[in-house]
Structure 1
Amino acid sequence: MQYRQEYAEPETQLIAAQQPSEPTKKARTKRPRWQKVALITFVVLALLAGGGMIAGGLYFRSINSGIERVDAFDGVPEAERPQVGESAKGAMNIMILGSDSRDPESDSGSRTDTIILAHLPKDRSSAQLISIPRDTWVNVPKSSNGRGGKDAKINASFAWGGVPLMVQTVEKFTGVRVDHVTMVDFAGFKEIVDALGGIEIDVEKGFTSNYALSSNRTFNKGRQTMDGATALDYARERHAFADGDFARIRHQQQVIKAILDKAASGGTLANPAKLNSFVKATADAVAVDKSLNLLDLASEMRDLRSGNLTFLTSPTKGTGMIGTESVVLADKERAARVFGAVRNDNVPEILSAAK
């Protein structure tokens, strides 16, 4: 991964899976220990997906200590950050940033190709993942290094001031306070999908990818099983579609949901070897902010399933030209309703406003 980050020293090594002992009558409804860990790993992946994925080690003691950490809020002025109202206390908002380090046309060292604001309501019964198109024209605040302070595409903030300026920019655009940050290298999709033994995707429209891993790849309309390389090509392509990045966002969301469904299936949860490969692959693709405690979060969200996740896109008026730049024009009125509902932790309003 090519992010500015600090590495946490592992406190423990991964330990071998142990078969659960015969449960007592009182404990018969409880899941075996390894399966609890499997479901928690899946939950953490679900929450930080979308676009984005995250996992730690296979067992509790290595999850927090074995992943990369980034100083996401360094220099972000507290006085300028959105405040949390009474109605939203206990809710959580996680900004997911993604790039593709193996995309031939991606400048992933200085840009972030995917921006998602994931809202976790205080009852932790669901999650709403709102994609913000990378070319959305916004005002970028001035960073501590003096860059920014002007209107630009939203992903320019990462190039000018790293994660902290991206936090400031997203907070200014949405009015939503970012509690945590996770960063994902989507090139890791290939290894993750292969670790799961492939995923099922319903291709909405046939096309040929010009940025396939090996050569041009043709996708036929309809449901099909994809291995890692195929799924990555599918999630990466945008030039084959009239709506470009919007199509790529939809396909990334499809791939994420398919990964979640496969990860939660009995074939994965009941196979410790496959599960371990899946977790190791996801661990290689992620970094999180210093304060995010995956164990606490996963414990809170242990009952979440992919069916409780809703993928949305920040409302826009389509694309246009500003000067010489092709940009995405935000629908400010509708976006204000969506993110206002996020600020108030009003899930029904989030869903209705985003339609």
Structure 2
Amino acid sequence: MSESRSPHRGSSGQTLPTTIRAGGSGRVSGRAHVPAGGGDDERRPTRGGYGGRGGPPPGAGMPGQLPPRPRPRPRWGRIALVATVALLVLALIAGVGVWIYANRLNASLGRTDAFSQITGERPAAPSNGAVNILMVGSDSRDPDASLAKPGEWRADTVIMMHIPSSHDRAYLVSIPRDLYVPIPKSAGDTCDSGQRAKINASFAWGGLPLAVRTVECFTDVRVDHVMAIDFGGFQQVTDALGGVDLYVERDITSIHKPYRKFKKGTNHMTGAEALDWVRQRKQFPDGDFARMRHQQEFLRALMDKAASSGTLSSPTKLTSFLSATTDAVTVDEGFSLTDKVLEFRKLRGENLQFVTSPNSGSDTIDGESVVVSDRERALAMYQAIASDKMDAWVRANKPPARSSGG
């Protein structure tokens, strides 16, 4: 926009320079003459003064004088910038603190060597970010028993946890402990080198390494990590959350001391009560399948309680919960708690899908009761896991809803 200089005459006859913007509104800038009197010739001072009829506002000074310089307006843009930077710094400091705390928890996890003995060919690793975690649980009274040595650790729960590449849900496939499968002679042998037996025999014969090898041979799914859970330790985890609500489908009396009585309906359970409940199986028609179902419900209830009870937003509750959890869990050498917390932060109890490895029920082989795998259906499901298409498999094989009446 062009500018031209033109004179402006005050009442005293003095010519003062002004600037008029061509094509503009005619707004005057620069030092304009202020007449000695008011009236129609009055002009608006350029320092934030007054103009028009009616005289100066209170405190503006005597006519003919420039009003006091107004207080500078706050520079909100700069203030907002400084405040934003400060918040970012505080967030960074808090993030560093959380990161340090997570690293401490990571260091406190029990560790076991689950993979170095597996020297043979293994299933292909997922290439799209999907993760497969073999979760094994024991309700033994010896949580310090070695996971790596044969015969020192008893596995009563075997779960293949598949987390798809989206990391927003998880599929937990319970493998019956009595499932009849081929077991290699050792973790370094070929899949067909041994004999067939119950899958939990692999723990007794070769510890966690042979168990991993056996599961990979049976499923043809790559195990990325292992997580050994001491269900006795989960008593402290449950108590740290203030207990959990579990549904009891029938009145039963525990077969373990102190012989608790569980009444049909939703029961609020302490850690000791919940652990006792998930150990029961002989009082149910489906035996070990009932126990697997109760364990699944227990794990879901723990996640739901942690997410809904304010535990995640309370530093004190969160510290107690995480400390109890790390005491109850042993993981492989390559498992990083900090990485997994970031990767799986979207997971909630409602995003867990529990499935049982397809089977034809129980049978007697060589004089012992075993669970027989449904070969075709199991093969299709484990192929869905390996190809990260478990969502489609679940939709196509959704089981009928179980009656809450038991």
TM-score, normalising length from structure 2? 0.69
CA distance in 1, matches of 2:378, 2:189: 28
Residue from 290, 315, 332 that aligns with 2:375: 332
Q: CA deviation at 1:77?
A: 2.2
Distance 1:222 1:61, change over 3 A: same
1 CA distance for matches of 2:180 and 2:129? Answer: 31
Matches within 5 A, 1:287-298: 287-298=330-341
**1:142 to partner: Cα distance:** 1.6
Do the aligned partners of 1:100 and 1:108 also contact (CA within 8 Å) in 2? no
- Please tell me whether the aligned partners of residues 131 and 312 of structure 1 are also in contact (alpha carbons under 8 angstroms): yes
Identify the residue that residue 69 of structure 1 maps to in structure 2.
Answer: 111
Q: Any conservation in 2 of the 1:35–1:270 contact (CA below 8 Å)?
A: no
Contact 1:101 1:108 in 2 (8 A): no
Report Cα offsets for 1:204-246 as digits up to 9, x if no partner.
22211102xx411111111121111110111111111111110
Q: Which residue of 2 aligns with 1:7?
A: none
User: One-letter code of the match for 2:212?
Assistant: V
Q: Percent identity?
A: 47
Residue of structure 2 in register with 1:152 after alignment? 197
Matched, 1:250 2:289: no
Deviations 1:120-151 (A, max 9, x none): 11111111010100000000012058897100
Residue 66 of structure 1, CA deviation: 1.4
The AA in structure 2 aligned to 1:126 is: R
* Backbone CA RMSD of aligned residues: 3.1
* Pairwise CA distance, 1:24: 5.4
Alpha carbons of structure 1 residues 296 and 269: separation in structure 2 relative to 1, 3 Å? closer
- Residue in 1 that maps onto 2:277: 234
The gaps in structure 1 that reach 5 residues or longer are 1-22, 41-56
1:59 aligned to which of 101, 105, 108: 101
User: Residue 99 of structure 1 contacts residue 114 of structure 1 at CA under 8 Å; is this kept in 2?
Assistant: yes
Check whether the contact 2:237–2:325 (CA below 8 A) recurs between aligned residues: yes
Q: Pick 1 or 2: higher relative contact order, CA cutoff 8 A, min separation 6.
A: 1
- Aligned partner of 1:165 in structure 2 is 210
Q: Letter of the 2:311 partner, please give it.
A: T
Q: For residues 350 and 132 of structure 1, do their structure 2 counterparts lie closer, same or farther at Cα, with a shift above 3 Å needed?
A: same
What SS does structure 2 have at the residue aligned with 1:264?
helix
Aligned match of 1:188:
233
Cα deviation code 1:184-211 (max 9, x no counterpart): 1011121111111111112122211102
> Which of 315, 319, 326 matches 2:362?
319
**Matched residue SS, 1:183:** strand
More moved, 310-319 vs 200-209: 200-209
Mapped partners of 1:197, 1:323: distance in 2: 46
Q: How does 1:1-355 map to 2 (within 5 A)?
A: 59-79=101-121, 81-84=122-125, 89-102=128-141, 109-143=152-186, 149-211=194-256, 214-351=257-394, 352-353=396-397, 355=399
Distance 1:207 1:317, change over 3 A: same
SS at match of 1:59: helix
C-alpha change, 1:184 and 1:116, in structure 2 (3 Å) is same
Between the aligned partners of 2:237 and 2:140, the Cα distance in structure 1 is: 15
Gap change, CA 1:270 and 1:226, over 3 Å in 2: same
For these two proteins, the number of residue pairs brought into alignment is 308
1:282-316: CA deviation from partner (whole Å, max 9, x where unpaired): 11111100111121121111122111111111011
Q: What is the CA-CA distance between 1:268 and the residue it aligns to?
A: 1.9
Contact 1:314 1:354 in 2 (8 A): no
CA distance in structure 1 between the aligned counterparts of 2:163 and 2:189, rounded to whole angstroms? 33
Q: Report if the CA contact (8 A) 2:132-2:223 is conserved.
A: yes
- Aligned-partner Cα distance in 2 for 1:239–1:349: 35
The SS at the match of 2:177 is coil
